[in-house]
Structure 1
Amino acid sequence: MESRVPMEQDPNSKAEQALPPTPKGQATRERMLDAATEVFGQRGYEATRVVDINTKAGVSHGLFYRHFKDKAEILVAVLDRMNAQLRHTSGREVGEDGAVTLAQLERRNIQFFREYSQNRKLLRVAREVAARNDEIEFREMWLKIRNRYVGRTHRWFDQLVASGEIPPLDDAAMVAAGLSALTEQLAYVEIGLAVDDPDAATIERLGRSCALIWYRTIRGATA
């Protein structure tokens, strides 16, 4: 396990992190995130060292610490970027749609599982790190990222109820959390833990099944 030795860190890292990023600095950061994505996916969290990420990205040890505190922080940044893409893929944004159809949910869920499949090794690593007792800070950051997605889904439900598109939900917040957890667990077990990459038929089957659960849950008796 990689030790976090204070002397490895750049003493000016906090001050430099507070400065607005330059285009060059942002490009370097993105290159480091790309490298971390690949290394974590190949090696897992435990075996990955900061030097492995630096070598892959072609950056110095000191430059790493200008952007990130440790390997846990860069993993969070990688996941934050990935989740932004997954949220965009799912399309559950407030004000986006005034109607809910099964076909719409199928399309979104199939695309979600497809994106998950493309990043399945990294997402599996993140979930396993979040369960570790010695990574409480990482778990809190990971849950914060996840809760942003759940919050968006909750607000989407509220909008649909307000417009009369779906019947009132007894506890919209818990429904949003439950459906999100169901989708995540299904993806983790059926895709994340799979020995081989899932084929297109499996992804479509998962997406359609998950969409049906979402549809019947939020539509209630009208489904």
Structure 2
Amino acid sequence: MTNELTDRGQERRDSILDAALTVFVRDGYHATKLTDISREAGCSVGTLYTYFENREELLAAVLQKVQAEIGNASDEPLEEDFNRISYADALRASNRAYLVGYRANAKVMALLEQAAHLDEQIYDHRVARIRRYIDRNRRVIEQLSERGEIYPIDDPFMFTTALSVMISRLAYYTWVEGFFDDSDETLERVAKTIDDIWFRSLGLKTD
């Protein structure tokens, strides 16, 4: 729904999103009902329909909110003045912010994967998220290329897609599939590995 909200309406919508996040993560996509979310939010099911057309739209809004928080945190270092900070340092900070956010929201990311296989709207949202991440990384690579700091790349879009998907799946297997133990040491290992992938793939100087 796209109607402009009052401050009070936005506050209510945000509280519904928080409640929905709690219930979706707790009960899973299949078992979650709007009645459970309304109970958690302290409102009627009718109030939910004031802001969202159905359960799928509500889940999409929850996912968008969480992923925007992760994306904004990882984008921020790349908006620095690069006369003051090196690209290498900015990339390290960006990668770390992405991983910290992913780890903190691993249950939400698992929910996204689960729902995407069953609902076209959520699938489209998942694809849009991946494309946003790829496009962000493509812009970074283009900036590096313009500054002459990396090797020339024949197919920047394909290169960036491969790099981005590899990083995203490593995070997924680490914190959703539990391939490694969930510890600060693992976070450091994954962050270092991703930095190495970036720098070695691009031939980017790290000093």
- Normalised by the size of structure 2, how large is the TM-score? 0.88
Percent identity for Structure 1 against Structure 2: 31
Please name the residue that 2:50 is paired with: 66
Counterpart secondary structure, 1:91:
helix
Q: Hey, what's the Cα distance between the residues in 2 that align with 1:151 and 1:110?
A: 18
Q: Hey, what's the Cα distance between the residues in 2 that align with 1:45 and 1:19?
A: 27
Please name the residue that 1:20 is paired with: 4
Unaligned 5+ segments in structure 2 are none
| Equivalent in 23, 27, 40 of residue 56 of structure 1 | 40
The CA deviation at 1:67 is 1.2
Counterpart secondary structure, 2:40:
helix
Aligned residues: 203
Counterpart secondary structure, 1:214:
helix
Counterpart secondary structure, 2:187:
helix
Larger RCO: 1 or 2 (CA < 8 Å, sep 6+): 1
The CA deviation at 1:109 is 2.3
Please name the residue that 1:8 is paired with: none
Please name the residue that 2:65 is paired with: 81
The CA deviation at 1:197 is 7.1
Amino acid of the structure 2 residue aligned with 1:42: R
Please name the residue that 2:173 is paired with: 189
Unaligned 5+ segments in structure 1 are 1-16
Q: Hey, what's the Cα distance between the residues in 2 that align with 1:170 and 1:144?
A: 25
Please name the residue that 2:87 is paired with: 100
The CA deviation at 1:77 is 1.0
| Equivalent in 105, 117, 120 of residue 131 of structure 1 | 117
Counterpart secondary structure, 1:124:
helix
CA contact (8 A) 1:92 1:156 kept: no
Please name the residue that 1:166 is paired with: 150
CA contact (8 A) 2:115 2:123 kept: yes
Q: Hey, what's the Cα distance between the residues in 1 that align with 2:22 and 2:92?
A: 30
Counterpart secondary structure, 2:14:
helix
Distance 1:82 1:52, change over 3 A: same
| Equivalent in 93, 107, 118 of residue 104 of structure 2 | 118
Q: Hey, what's the Cα distance between the residues in 2 that align with 1:140 and 1:160?
A: 30
Counterpart secondary structure, 2:87:
coil
- Normalised by the size of structure 1, how large is the TM-score? 0.82
Q: Hey, what's the Cα distance between the residues in 2 that align with 1:85 and 1:42?
A: 20
